[in-house]
Structure 1
């Protein structure tokens, strides 16, 4: 609101622009390591197990801090967290280029996960506060979609092109720190925290029965399990595809960057499309269809040779379904399943648990599989996760308003809508 009490449209769009850009840089800094890993592997003597661990430690730290940071940002405001964490993860991305071995790189990536995990809920809350209610859903979807666009779409192309003009991969990481520092300065100048309210702390100490109520909701449990399946699919694929394209299919650097970028472009579209489609066909049908589609496309991808165009198309579809599922499960499904007054907590729980186990543990397991049984077998592991997701989401209770209203009008029990 401006000084007259009217909604400040200019501030809304400036906030959305900066935080969408910031969330995109979170994705860029997080996923830059995957397309650069074949070169880091050679210089630092790393292996595929260690790649899985590097992806996993960041995800685990991210998940823990994404769950924990909400009460802190409520007390001190979002702005200080956003500025501080953006400076931190940008510098840590640069420090990744200065790592001399596996342990130093593991430590840097773990701390980076703390900063990025803390940035995420604060940025979503700040965008929600700045948005006109009628635009809030669209704004949040746009903000979160930039993670895929930058992290899996732009990062592979940018990293591989920078390798052509910079002396080594070390310099690519150092250069990647600069945009985040610039955006942090702009956030510090533009954003302002909402006035602190005395009632803010009334919600800090909730009765335990209220938290247990989340686990009494069938769809909360299904959404958590579904997130594990979806993340076990897309995060394993995102971590291992660049190395697979170079080491197994023997694509050149630029072709690898082109194919791997399909993850980001597909995820960017899927973040909007799947949730939108679910408004019409239902959350359950959309989730089952997306898991089945991703599994079928991954099966074909793993059996396609060195054909960059076909690989791009298949990977685009896999990402559109899988990353679309992350938005669907942690967005509409979690929101509609949340007990009264616990919407943010439910979303944090679903996304945080998925991040810790699906995004953290699964890539580490995939790294072990790649190291001991061969890189192509990681796709079998991801495929199992996606197939399991079909059966998990079959247990959803339909909550899409259009579907429930139609069921009620026809005299059908809305709780039994398929």
Structure 2
């Protein structure tokens, strides 16, 4: 599952990392760049919610995950073949539709086999560690060198290949535990004791969706426009920009360990508060510390440790607030709705505002998303298993 998350994130973020080269070739405006980001996100959100709802049975999860991995890998390759803006837009939609079901299916499989005292850690390893290590740390550096050697098209063609090998590994090694009818009935009976022990805990799902809107805005707007901000607004070269972006991956990897450990030991709510608070340092560092590369890389690293909280609000808290039979659907919902706001509406709005006010406005929007997430965390109800499961 760590490999699934890593390769999916690498394929997704390859577009953002190489966006300055794509913008130059196609002569795109910031608004068009926002449209490409939004097209991916709306497709991803739609498929995450729709497919997660249609295929809730345990028996479908492995097959659907393998199909999704194959499809998003092929769509990455097709992106390198696009010759017009419209074709590029279509490939982004295809990739979004393919990646939507990945996390709901992967995480629902993982939640079903995780013990409560390790649930946040396991979710973070899948949601954040793989994505940040491979997708946000290794991939930007590799993509930078590939783009220098083969151009952005060659980089796209190469980055899609590992996913095809991963699909084979999933088919051979992934164990999809099938729940027997009697066991399923027992789980449904025991679920209220194990997962819904806090009065009104189900309202956590809606709070997590709202927090997700803010945190998705923080991550996706920053991912889409920070490379453009560094290169087009401050004159960074490709390799220097990718070094800064790779610090996001380092921060995410460290955050996956640190914040998930806080969540399992001190509680889900403190972990979320810490994550949202440190998230603010990344856009602030880019706005005020761009003259010092070490400081800029340091604040990017610290700020992106907040990515370690994504598994907590996207998976752990919603799973502990609902019954097991609802997990695939609920996890798709918590992923999908924030993706529409943070990945569709806000990048388009940010691109439009950037055309008028300049690229720095995108970082202020990213900062606002983190602040909103921090404020909403106050209203979460704690679901820490050591406190509530008897």
Question: Normalised by the shorter chain, which TM-score bucket?
Answer: 0.7 to 0.9
Counterpart residue number, 1:254: 239
SS of 1:259's partner is: helix
Q: Distance in 1 between matches of 2:200 and 2:93?
A: 29
8 Å contact from structure 1 (residues 20, 142) kept in 2: yes
Shift in alpha-carbon separation, 1:347–1:73, aligned structure 2, 3 A: closer
Equivalent residue in structure 1 for 2:309, among 321, 325, 333: 325
Shift in alpha-carbon separation, 1:316–1:59, aligned structure 2, 3 A: same
8 Å contact from structure 2 (residues 289, 296) kept in 1: yes
Counterpart residue number, 2:169: 186
Counterpart residue number, 1:210: none
Counterpart residue number, 2:55: 72
Equivalent residue in structure 1 for 2:326, among 329, 335, 342: 342
Q: Please show how residues 118-267 of structure 1 align to structure 2 within 5 Å.
A: 118-128=101-111, 138-144=121-127, 145-166=129-150, 168-191=151-174, 193-194=176-177, 217-267=202-252
2:33 aligned with 1:48 = no
2:376 aligned with 1:389 = no
For normalisation by structure 2, the TM-score amounts to: 0.86
Q: Distance in 1 between matches of 2:59 and 2:228?
A: 42
8 Å contact from structure 1 (residues 284, 396) kept in 2: yes
Counterpart residue number, 1:273: 258
Counterpart residue number, 2:337: 353
8 Å contact from structure 1 (residues 34, 238) kept in 2: yes
Report which stretch shifted further, 114-123 or 335-344. 335-344
* Structure 1 residue 235 displacement after superposition: 1.1
8 Å contact from structure 1 (residues 236, 382) kept in 2: yes
8 Å contact from structure 2 (residues 121, 260) kept in 1: no
8 Å contact from structure 1 (residues 75, 200) kept in 2: no
Shift in alpha-carbon separation, 1:267–1:337, aligned structure 2, 3 A: same
Q: Deviations over 1:218-242 (max 9, x none)?
A: 3222211111111111111111111
8 Å contact from structure 2 (residues 58, 178) kept in 1: no
Q: Where in structure 2 are there 5+ consecutive unaligned residues? A: 186-198
Counterpart residue number, 1:26: 8
Counterpart residue number, 1:36: 18
Q: Distance in 1 between matches of 2:361 and 2:322?
A: 37
Shift in alpha-carbon separation, 1:47–1:86, aligned structure 2, 3 A: same
8 Å contact from structure 2 (residues 210, 376) kept in 1: yes
SS of 1:77's partner is: helix
Counterpart residue number, 1:291: 276
Q: Where in structure 1 are there 5+ consecutive unaligned residues? A: 1-18, 203-213, 406-418
Larger relative CO (CA 8 A, sep 6+): 1 or 2?
2
8 Å contact from structure 2 (residues 9, 135) kept in 1: yes
* Structure 1 residue 274 displacement after superposition: 1.5
Give the CA RMSD over aligned residues.
3.0
8 Å contact from structure 2 (residues 107, 123) kept in 1: yes
Counterpart residue number, 1:378: 362
Q: Distance in 2 between matches of 1:371 and 1:265?
A: 31
Larger Rg: 1
Q: Distance in 1 between matches of 2:327 and 2:165?
A: 33
For normalisation by structure 1, the TM-score amounts to: 0.81
